[in-house]
């Protein structure tokens, strides 16, 4: 509630930008943009600095199809805002505004095929160019909250979407951007709050994804621990259950699977010889 009240109190885009720094630092929630560390997709022996901006929750195609799924999504967004304290009529109005903002960004985002093409998904750029793209943001602060160091080379995730977001990040879209920040906080924290958030998500997912049922409190607790500290859990598991013989078994299984895939690739009739060699790398 503290953060939702702060967002409600923002009067202009400048104040909203300053709130991005506060919420990023205190909640580790990035509403508009952020840096992350990733493996270089062209050289897995190296790490790279990635930069990404607000991404629509659904895939590109979703925003340009009408039907029950869109209705369920809008209902879900409005429900989150209503649980967060908004009047029902205001919540639906804000949900519609946010949806249109997402749709505008989605018009320039990569489709599903593009999101699986590393040459299109990650565009090499520089720290200076990223700063120039968003002159109203203090990138030093944005970078500091990631805990990472500045690098000359930066990979921009989905450059078309990043450029479109830079274009619409202005006062004329202030209300929709406020809703974006509200929803970011609610997405991130709702699962730890009342069961209403969980029920809203279930109703949405049952329509859009055909999901049935949801986890009990015990399962939720296990999933939270696994998501927050996977490396520590994995290390403890390996120490207790994964002996040297098990490791050899898994390594052999991996080699066997790779061998089978290579044989299948060799037997494909529709793939060229050069593509087969790339596929086997």
> Which residues 6+ apart lie within 8 Å of 194 measured at CB?
83
pLDDT at 216: 81
The token duo for 1 is: 């509630």
Q: Which residues contact 87 (CB under 8 A, 6 or more apart)?
A: none
- pLDDT for 232 equals 93
Q: Are 58 and 103 in contact (CB under 8 A)?
A: no
For residue 50, the model assigns a pLDDT of 94
29, 188 Cβ separation under 8 angstroms: yes
Alpha-carbon distance of 182 to 193, in angstroms, equals: 15
DSSP class of residue 36 equals E
pTM of the shown model: 0.79
Task: Please report the pLDDT score of residue 210 as a whole number.
Answer: 80
pLDDT at 205: 85
Residue 276 confidence (pLDDT): 93
Q: Where are the beta strands (DSSP E) in the chain?
A: 33-40, 43-53, 122-126, 153-157
Alpha-carbon span 146 to 37, nearest angstrom: 9
**Strand ranges across the sheet with 153-157:** 33-40, 43-53, 153-157, 122-126
- On whether the CB atoms of residues 205 and 72 are closer than 8 A, the answer is no
Contacts of 196 (CB under 8 A, 6+ apart): 79, 83
Would you write out the chain's pLDDT as a tens digit for each of its 281 residues? 999 999 999 999 999 999 999 999 999 899 999 999 988 877 888 899 999 999 999 989 999 988 899 999 999 999 999 999 999 999 999 999 999 999 999 999 988 888 888 778 888 899 999 999 999 899 999 998 888 888 888 999 999 999 999 999 999 999 999 999 999 999 888 878 888 888 898 888 888 888 777 778 888 889 889 888 999 999 999 999 999 999 999 999 999 999 999 999 999 999 999 999 989 98
């Amino acid at each position: 509630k503290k953060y939702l009240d702060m967002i409600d109190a923002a009067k202009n885009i400048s104040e909203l930008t300053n709130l991005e720094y506060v919420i990023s630092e205190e909640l580790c929630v990035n509403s508009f943009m952020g840096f992350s560390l990733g493996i270089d997709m062209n050289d897995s022996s190296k790490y790279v600095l990635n930069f990404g901006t607000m991404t629509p929750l659904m895939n590109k195609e979703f925003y340009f199809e009408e039907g029950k799924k869109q209705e369920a999504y809008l209902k879900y967004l409005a429900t989150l805002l209503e649980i967060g304290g908004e009047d029902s009529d205001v919540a639906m109005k804000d949900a519609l505004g946010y949806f249109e903002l997402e749709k505008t960004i989605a018009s320039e985002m990569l489709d599903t095929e593009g999101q699986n093409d590393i040459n299109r998904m990650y565009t090499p750029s520089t720290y200076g160019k990223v700063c120039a793209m968003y002159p109203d943001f203090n990138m030093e602060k944005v970078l500091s909250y990631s805990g990472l160091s500045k690098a000359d080379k930066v990979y921009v995730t989905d450059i078309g979407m990043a450029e479109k977001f830079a274009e619409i990040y202005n006062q004329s879209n202030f209300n929709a951007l406020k809703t974006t920040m509200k929803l970011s906080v609610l997405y991130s924290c709702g699962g730890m709050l009342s069961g209403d958030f969980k029920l809203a998500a279930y109703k949405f997912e049952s329509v859009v994804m055909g999901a049935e049922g949801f986890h009990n409190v015990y399962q939720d607790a296990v999933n939270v621990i696994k998501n927050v500290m996977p490396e520590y859990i994995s290390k403890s598991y390996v120490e207790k259950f994964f002996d040297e013989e098990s490791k050899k078994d898994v390594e052999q299984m991996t080699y066997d699977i790779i061998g089978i895939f290579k044989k299948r690739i060799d037997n494909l009739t529709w793939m060229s010889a050069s593509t087969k060699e790339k596929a086997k790398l």
